[in-house]
Chain A
Amino acid sequence: MLRLELYKIFKRPRTYISFAIITAFALVIQLALVADGKNFISFALQGVNEQFDVKGNILNGYLVTYIILQSLLVQIPLLVALVAGDVLAGEANMGTMRLLLTKPVSRTRLVLVKYTASVCYALLLITWLAVIALALSVSIFGAGDLINLKSDSFVIILKDDVLWRYLAAFGFAALAMSTVSALALFLSSFADNAIGPIMGTMGVIVVLMIFTTLDLPIFNTISRYLFTTHMIGWKGFFDDPVPYAAITRSAVILAIYTVLFVGATIWWFNKKDIQS
């Protein structure tokens, strides 16, 4: 059944739009940095150069990958929601949900299979991002030490210490995207058209991200419990030392949200009248 779901997802031309968008986005940033990277680096390191003498291949593939990942913080969840928000609502919209549910398949199993298929898609998307951002950037700009600039400090990670951090960061991003998939699936179970769940997922993420980024005491209290706060836990792998406890806590919170969203979808879908 999972094979059938994946077959349906990857037979649709619009599935590949996400891969094309990521490719285009990464290529634009890479080309821009090839053309004007030196100016960008001198501007970015203005504050640092006043106190330190930074030398070497600063504009390397690892830094370019970090810039690409930072820039795609909002876009990737949208691309994941494009498919996950469509898996139930899209079937209702096409009218195929009727035919699917006249077959002897349990509704719970159907939800789980559709969720698994959306996670597979999200994993492929993250893998593609890793290939296009990391592999291509390193092949264009070469490898080097990674300078991670923060608002009030910077971290230098030695060249030989970077790759595993990226692999771990991509793994964490995959977990975060599984949570986004679960949210989109949950919203998808209420709708008969995919636009609503896709926009709804983005709406929830954008609003919660505002709570996370606005440094107000009232938001600070709740933001630690919001999954959007923990979606950017991958950045922890580029700190020194790596805050493993915080990363683990973020991963657990994301997993709890995922279970809650999928569980709620199963509960609702099992009692839903199919009228589309």
Chain B
Amino acid sequence: MSELSVVVNGKKTILTQGLNLQQVLDKQGYKNEQVAIALNETFIARSQYQNTLIEANDCIDIVAPMQGG
């Protein structure tokens, strides 16, 4: 199975080709986590994860609640 390289939260990551965002979240260990995602600095709604296929060199930001002022 061929692979591709992406950047997840600033770190280079090798993934299987053809995965959607939901599959990436599950494989990266974010299953059931309360997170939001930006793909190449654009927000992707949770409802669109399964329709969004990952491509080579994509930058995925996965964020969660944190303290703030």
Determine if chain A interacts with chain B.
Answer: no
**Chain B residues in contact with chain A, CB under 8 A?**
none
